Structure 1
Amino acid sequence: MRDINRVMEREIAKGSCPLKLDHIEFRDYSYQEITSKEKLLEVLSYLLRIGDFKQYAGKTILNNVYMDLRGKKPVFKRTKTAMERNNIFATIRRYAKKVKPQYNGDVYLETVRCYFDMPQENLEKCRYTYQGNETYAFLMSNKYIMALYTHCLVARKEAAMQDMQVESFTEKEYEMVRLENVGEVLFQVLLLDNVCSDDGRIYSEYVSIYLIGG
């Protein structure tokens, strides 16, 4: 991570916003069961901002980092066009068909909030109104965004080794927090196109779709 942090410092010097990950949080919204193939495709369409959800594909969608597959190996990348996101959708759909989920409690959507820190003077410059809602837009280079994604990915893996306590979680949900019995990661995305504010704290969502067991 020292190399990643050095890259981020260089990109800040070049003009990237000094947005940095502070911590991630699990809450009672973190887990939702996906109960059918149709629901899985609907969730993928929403996360990729395509099909019935293409109206959510604003200019800041370029900041999102999506999981794609190269052979059997996951790769993480940003996209520039709806065609690229449609291609990812087709790839993940084929992959899901190959691993044959049963939709009987074996497919789950995990949503983790990634809370960020940024100097207040910089933050005020990034505030704007989009479709009537107050949000933020951050000018960041590709290298900086990918480094920020790496921090979120590492924080999620580290959370699996911590004694996480969320009152409403079931034992099965705790197993997913610990990444126990997770057979496949069907999809992941860091949604930086919709950065929100919670009591003055800014966050985005890091979303994963898990196949349990196997």
Structure 2
Amino acid sequence: MRDINRVMEREIAKGSSPLKLDHIEFGDYSYQKITSKEKLLEVLSYLLRISDFSQYAGKTFLNNVYINLRGKKPVFKRTRTAIERNNIFATIKRYARKLKPQYNGDVYLETVRCYFDIPQENLERCRYTYQGNETYAFLMSDKYIMALYTHCLVARKEVAIQGKQSEGFTEKEYGMVRLEKVGDVLFQTLLLDDVKIELGKVYIHLNTIYIL
């Protein structure tokens, strides 16, 4: 992480917005059961901004980080075109067939909120209007975005190691928080095109589809 942080410092000096991960949170929004193949494909289409959800692929979708498979090895990448995202969709669809989920409580979408700090003066400079709505746009290099993603993954694993009980979760959901009995990660994305502000902090969703 020291090397990652040095990269981030260099990229901030070059002009990347100084977003820094503060913490991650789980809540009553964190776990949704995926009960059919059709629902899985719908969720993947939404996260990838393709098919019926292509209208969500605005300018900022270029910042989203997606997991893809190269052979058996997962790779994490940003995409430039709908063709790239459709190729990821096809790869994950094939992988899902290989895993043979039963959709009887063995497939879940996990949504984690990743909260970031940014100096207020920088936040104000990032404010702009898009399609009539006031929002924020953060200028970040590819290296900086991938470093933020790495921070989110490390923070997610630290929560599992700490094993803190989360209120309102079933035992099964709490087991997923601890990453117990999680067989495979089918898909994962950090959606940097869907930035929210809460109590002066920026939060972004880290979405993961697990096969239990």
Describe the superposition over 1:171-208 as per-residue Cα deviations: whole angstroms up to 9, x where unpaired.
00010000000000000000001101123321000000
Contact persistence 2:118–2:201 (CA under 8 A): no
1-structure distance, mates of 2:163, 2:179: 13
With normalisation by structure 2, the TM-score equals 0.98
Aligned to 2:143: 143
**How much does 1:130 deviate?**
2.4
Instruction: Report SS of the residue matched to 2:183.
Output: strand
**How much does 1:7 deviate?**
0.2
Q: Are residue 33 (structure 1) and residue 33 (structure 2) matched?
A: yes
Instruction: Report SS of the residue matched to 1:169.
Output: coil
Contact persistence 1:8–1:147 (CA under 8 A): yes
Aligned to 1:75: 75
User: Does 128-137 or 99-108 show the bigger shift?
Assistant: 128-137
**Which amino acid in structure 2 is aligned with residue 192 of structure 1?**
L
How many residues matched? 212
2-structure distance, mates of 1:181, 1:129: 44
With normalisation by structure 1, the TM-score equals 0.97
**Which amino acid in structure 1 is aligned with residue 119 of structure 2?**
P
- Structure 1 gaps of 5+ residues are none
Contact persistence 2:127–2:135 (CA under 8 A): yes
**Which amino acid in structure 1 is aligned with residue 124 of structure 2?**
E
**Which amino acid in structure 2 is aligned with residue 128 of structure 1?**
Y
1-structure distance, mates of 2:103, 2:140: 39
Contact persistence 1:28–1:166 (CA under 8 A): no
The sequence identity of aligned pairs, in percent, is 81
Aligned to 1:172: 172
User: Does 129-138 or 73-82 show the bigger shift?
Assistant: 129-138
Describe the superposition over 1:122-152 as per-residue Cα deviations: whole angstroms up to 9, x where unpaired.
0001012223433211000000000111000
Instruction: Report SS of the residue matched to 1:89.
Output: helix
**Which amino acid in structure 2 is aligned with residue 137 of structure 1?**
A
1-structure distance, mates of 2:162, 2:74: 25
CA RMSD of aligned residues (A): 0.9
**How much does 1:162 deviate?**
1.6
2-structure distance, mates of 1:93, 1:123: 38
Aligned to 2:19: 19
Aligned to 1:133: 133
1-structure distance, mates of 2:173, 2:133: 32
Aligned to 2:94: 94
Aligned to 2:64: 64
Instruction: Report SS of the residue matched to 1:191.
Output: strand
**How much does 1:58 deviate?**
0.5
**How much does 1:165 deviate?**
2.9
